[in-house]
Amino acid sequence: MKRILIVEDEHALASALAALCGRLGCEAALCYSGQRALGELGRAGFALCILDIGLPDMNGLKLLEEIRRQPDAPPVLVITAHGNLDNAVAAKKLGSTAYLVKPLDLQEVRETIEQLLGSRPAAAEEKAVEPPPLLIGAAASMQRTFVEIAHACAGDAPVLITGQTGTGKTLVARVIHANSARRDAPFVTLHCGSLPEPLLESELFGYEKNAFTGALSTKPGHIERATGGTLFLDEIADIPPSIQAKLLRFVEERTFTRIGGREDRTVDLRLLAATNRNLREEVRAGRFREDLYYRLHVLEIELPPLVRRGEDIPALAAVFLGNIAKGRRLAFSPEALALLCRYHWPGNVRELRNTLEYAAAVSSGDTIFPRHLPAGIRESEPSDSSLEAALKYWLEEKVRLGSDYEQIHGEIESMLLKSLLNRFGNKPTVLARELKMNRVTLRKKIGSIP
């Protein structure tokens, strides 16, 4: 069993990373300070070190220097914050093997760990072949998207995936790769928005030994790692103009040069890109090259926001909950699922999954009730597009439980009248006047409300 040293002073994050390592078949050792980490490194061999730069007793960069001085030093995955990208550059020069920017995406952490370990851990290798990535959607807004994805799977042309943050652009890229002729070759992801320009260039094109201070050996970039397979460039709009020019050359000729190198290298791969921005507007504003845009925009797949596919929420929520609560038989109460269906989800599918992770964590029983959902969801007003989905689920539950039409109609009318009374200050006379209702009839209906 491979051992991984986690040096992180945030206990919750350290525990989450340890759990992830366990799922990969690795043993994790937790250290909350730099001095303790040095002691651990001196006693036992580790296959990988995950190191936070901000430690309570010493600078993580200083600890990185100490680690790299040791014989048989393990590869080091450095974690930094959005405000400390200068530290990330320094970490690269000091010999870090990779780094990630907080807040961490656990799927990205998993992929990075597997890459740094050189191969999938033994426990993972013993498992059955992982099922292909799955897209769920019966909403009309998703049907056109599925057709576009099918076209992309059948060909080898570049694809531009657009949509709001959290709509599932990375998942679409994985689906395209998994169903393409390149499915057995590597799928390599580069998140362009989290990297400063020097690091982005070196991660994309690679570098030769001694190309810059800290380049202790030659390192292939993501382009070479994706040879024969698919390179997915996320947040493509954040690539600086100088790198856009070099990327254009590669897209047109499939040829590039490593940093510090003189030899042109040719790589066969498929290019997928994603952005939450309008690239046409970026081109008009002069922030993105028009020629590169047209080279990337051979096929475009636009993902709808979750609020436009409200009828998919029950199915998505059930699948997410099943993945999150493995080993537990968790289910939604009708009221909780109705709240999920009526919420407007500004963070889209990603926010839905995060919400379910929260609900599963705070629920001690086998049912998720409204009290287990974040306050923002409990107190939200229903959006027009999600009201129909919530009503549809509510009706299905009532029919399943054996309610007849009169019971269903009575409950709906009771909820309607309660909401209207609240809207008009609990004054039936005002309600009757404003909505042109017969006062006597209204009072009878109000009297029958349980």
Mean pLDDT of 341-357: 92
Banded model confidence at residue 325, pLDDT cuts 50, 70, 90? confident
Highest mean pLDDT among 114-118, 161-165, 380-384, 430-434 belongs to 161-165
Are residues 171 and 135 in contact, defined by beta-carbon separation less than 8 angstroms? yes
- 59-102 pLDDT, tens digit each: 888 888 888 887 778 888 888 764 444 565 666 666 667 777 77
Contact 428, 443 (CB under 8 A): yes
The pLDDT of residue 82 is 46
Output the pTM of the full model: 0.60
Q: Is the pLDDT of residue 23 over 80?
A: yes
Write the CB contacts of 304 (distance below 8 Å, at least 6 apart in sequence): 139, 141, 142, 145, 163, 167
CA distance 374 to 239: 35
The closest alpha carbon to 279, from 158, 189, 107, 198, belongs to 158
Domains, the chain, ordered by start: 3-125 (3.40.50.2300), 140-304 (3.40.50.300), 311-447 (1.10.8.60)
Q: How confident is the model at residue 195 (pLDDT cuts 50, 70, 90)?
A: confident
